[in-house]
Amino acid sequence: FETVGEVVVEVENQFTYFAEGQPMVEGALVRIKNYYTGEVYAEGLTGADGRFTAASVPEGSHRITVEKAQHLPYNNIIDIKR
């Protein structure tokens, strides 16, 4: 069987990060893709709480990107391990 994990992404507003209440970003597009093949494992928008949850992301290295108009894009690598 294949090992899978859950990824919870919280998107914070870089312009108001230090403001009281640290406003979260609603409607940011989150993508999780296989690092090597580019296969998309999860894609969706953050909710009003700034969160996006991806269930059943396979074990391995993946690229995560977060984009929203008028915000700096985010791009990084995540590893799902046993």
Predicted confidence at residue 52, as pLDDT, reads 98
Counts for the chain of helices (H) and strands (E), in that order: 0, 6
Inter-residue contact 26 to 50 (CB < 8 Å): yes
E strand or H helix that includes residue 64: strand 60-67
Please list the residues that pair with 45 across neighbouring strands: 29
Predicted confidence at residue 69, as pLDDT, reads 94
Predicted confidence at residue 1, as pLDDT, reads 53
pTM: 0.89
Predicted confidence at residue 22, as pLDDT, reads 74
pLDDT, tens digit (0-9, with 9 covering 90-100), for 19-71: 777 789 999 999 999 999 999 999 999 999 999 999 999 999 999 999 999 99
- Whole-angstrom Cα distance, residue 4 to residue 40? 14
Please list the residues that pair with 49 across neighbouring strands: none
Average pLDDT score over residue span 10-23: 79
Structure tokens at 13: 């507003």
